[in-house]
Structure 1
C-alpha cells in the first residue's frame, strides 16, 4: 500500500492532510477557506449524500489550468474535483482543525463528511507510509481529538487502512499485534460515541488476503462487531464485481456486517502485479449509496485520485499530488 504527504498553504496552516492506504495529503481547511472556495465552485457537482471539499488539490489544479489556458484539461479534471473524496488528517498533528472544519461544512450542506483515521502505531510496517503515533497513549489521545471534533455531524470514518490486514499477513511483528487490535477496538468504541458517526474498519482487498475467513477473528478482536461494518479496496484497483463478491463472503462470515468499497481508481481494474501508480487506470463508480446490494452501504473515493502511491513508475513521493496522473485517471473514465 502507498501513503502520501503534502504541506498546506491556505488559511488553515495547522491542518495538513495525508491520504491513503497509501495515504495521501490534501489541502487544509478552515471555515473561511471552505466558504470562499464554495462560492468559487458554482455547484456543478451532482447531488450526493457526501460532502465535496471545494478546495481540494484537484479543484485548485483545475482552476490553475483554466487560468493558464488549458480549459479542456481543466474540464476533464472536474470529474475528480466535483466529487467527494475522503479527507485524511495527518497523524503528525492534531486532527481536530481539519476534522472540525469538514464536519461543520458537511453539516451546513446537509451531507456527510467522509474521513480516514490513519495513525496506528507501527503503521505500514516501515514501508511507503511508515509512521503513526509514537505509542498507544499517543494514539488514544489522537483518536479522541478526532472524535471530539466530529461533534454531532453526520460522518463516515474509514478506520486505519491496512492495520488488520498487516496483522493477518504477518507484516506487523507479533509483539505489536495484540496492542494493535486492542487500540482498534478502543477507536471503534470512541468514534461510535459520536451520534452521527458511522465507522468502517478496514479489511484490505481481495488480492491481498485472498481467503476472507482469515480476517474474521482479527476483525472481531479489532472491534468490527461494534462498528457499522468494514471497508475494502482502499487505495487499490480491484473491480466492483470482485470486491463485492469478496465483501459478501466476509459479511456472511461476520454475521451479516455491512461494508463499503473504495472505487476511486478501479474503473479499469488492476494492472497485473503493479499496485504502485499503475498506468492506464481509470476513475471508478462515483461515490454513492445507491449500490443495488443491501449489505454494500456505499461506493466511496477513499484514496484521493491523483495522489501518488510512491516513487514508482515516475511518480513523486507517496501522497504527493501528481496532476498528470490525475488527468489520465479522469480521461480514462467514462464520465
Structure 2
C-alpha cells in the first residue's frame, strides 16, 4: 500500500516521494482540523524542502498564470513534509536533505522504506532482496545522517502486516530481527529519533495484537511508534488508539501523520478518497504529553495508487493536491463563519 520514492529532483508528474493510504478503512470524521493558512509557514522545527513537488508546482502555475491555484497550493508547499528513501542507494537523497536541514537549523524527517517483501507484493512491492543487503542499506542510511538532527519513520506497514496476516509466517522472525537491528543502528547516530510504524486506528482493531511484534522489533530502544502513515484517521481517534498501545508498552510516546486527516476517512474508500483535507500542520506543539509531534509523512498530492481514479502509486497528482488544499480552505472559511 505504500510506494518507494526518491528525494532526487525530477520532473513534475513522475514518481516521487510519497505513499499510498494504509489499509484501515473505517472511522468517522470528527470535524475539520486546525486550518493551515496559505502563504504562512508554521513555526515548525522541521525542514521544508524548497524543491518539493508542491513547491515546483506552485512556481509552474505562477508562470502559467494560474495564480489563484498557486496561492491555494501553498497550503501544501509551505509546510515541511517527510522525505521517503526507498532505493538501492540511500546516500544521495539523505545527504541532500541533511545538508538543507543543517543550513536552516531544522530537523529532517525521513522515512526508511526498504524492508524485504515490502507491502506484501501489493501496490508498493519491492524492498531489499534479502536480509544482508537490507542491513547494509540501513547502515548506509544511518551513516548518511551523520551527526545531524532527524526523525526516522521506520518501515511503514512492516509491523501491522505481520499482524493482519499479509506477511507470511515464515518471514516474520526475520522481519522483527531486521527491524530491531535497524532501530539499534539508527540510534547510534546522536541526533536521530526513531519511530516504528504501528498502523492506524482503523486497521488493527485490537491494539494489543501489535504489542508483541513491536517489542520484538526493538520498540524499547526506539523513541516510540508512529500512527496513521499515509492514512486519514482523525487525530482524536489516533490519540485514543495510541494511548492504548502506549499503556501496553510502558508509556512509550508516539507521533501522528496528520497530512491528510483534516476531514477524517471516507468509509469504505482507502485509495485516493475524494473530499479529504489537509490536517494539522507539522509541529511538536501537540498539547499531549504522549504525542511528540504531528508530521506530514505522506506527501499530500501523491497518488495512493492506480485506484480511485489516480495514477500509479507515488505519482505527483497536482489536481488532487489542489483538491486537498481547496477542501482545507473551505474548512477554514466554515470555521471562520462559525466563530463570527
* Offset of residue 9 of structure 1: 4.8
Partner of 1:285: 280
Once residues 9 and 177 of structure 2 are traced to their aligned partners in structure 1, the CA distance between those partners, rounded to angstroms, is: 36
TM-score normalized with structure 1 length: 0.89
Partner of 2:75: 79
Once residues 6 and 110 of structure 2 are traced to their aligned partners in structure 1, the CA distance between those partners, rounded to angstroms, is: 17
Which of 159, 164, 169 is matched with 1:164 structurally? 159
Partner of 2:213: 218
The answer as to 2:95 corresponding to 1:100 is: yes
1:38-187 to structure 2, matched below 5 A, reads 45-91=41-87, 93-187=88-182
Once residues 209 and 328 of structure 1 are traced to their aligned partners in structure 2, the CA distance between those partners, rounded to angstroms, is: 29
TM-score normalized with structure 2 length: 0.88
* Offset of residue 46 of structure 1: 2.8
DSSP 3-state at the match of 1:156: strand
Once residues 142 and 301 of structure 1 are traced to their aligned partners in structure 2, the CA distance between those partners, rounded to angstroms, is: 24
Q: For 1:154-193, what per-residue CA distance to the aligned partner results, in whole angstroms no more than 9, with x for missing partners?
A: 1000000000000011100011000000000000000000
Structure 2: unaligned runs, 5 residues or longer: 23-38, 333-340
DSSP 3-state at the match of 2:193: strand
8 Å contact 1:20–1:161 — kept in the other structure? no
Once residues 217 and 123 of structure 1 are traced to their aligned partners in structure 2, the CA distance between those partners, rounded to angstroms, is: 20
8 Å contact 1:21–1:161 — kept in the other structure? no
Once residues 173 and 261 of structure 1 are traced to their aligned partners in structure 2, the CA distance between those partners, rounded to angstroms, is: 27
Q: For 1:222-269, what per-residue CA distance to the aligned partner results, in whole angstroms no more than 9, with x for missing partners?
A: 000000000000000000000000001100110000000000000000
Once residues 297 and 83 of structure 1 are traced to their aligned partners in structure 2, the CA distance between those partners, rounded to angstroms, is: 18
Partner of 2:3: 3
DSSP 3-state at the match of 2:194: strand
Partner of 1:33: none
* Offset of residue 314 of structure 1: 1.2
DSSP 3-state at the match of 2:323: helix
8 Å contact 1:125–1:172 — kept in the other structure? yes
* Offset of residue 48 of structure 1: 1.3
Structure with greater contact order relative to length (CA < 8 Å, sep ≥ 6): 2
Once residues 114 and 134 of structure 2 are traced to their aligned partners in structure 1, the CA distance between those partners, rounded to angstroms, is: 7
Once residues 5 and 197 of structure 1 are traced to their aligned partners in structure 2, the CA distance between those partners, rounded to angstroms, is: 21
Partner of 1:20: 19
8 Å contact 1:157–1:197 — kept in the other structure? yes
DSSP 3-state at the match of 1:226: coil
Partner of 1:308: 303
Partner of 1:34: none
8 Å contact 2:278–2:325 — kept in the other structure? yes
DSSP 3-state at the match of 1:283: coil
DSSP 3-state at the match of 1:128: coil
* Offset of residue 20 of structure 1: 2.5
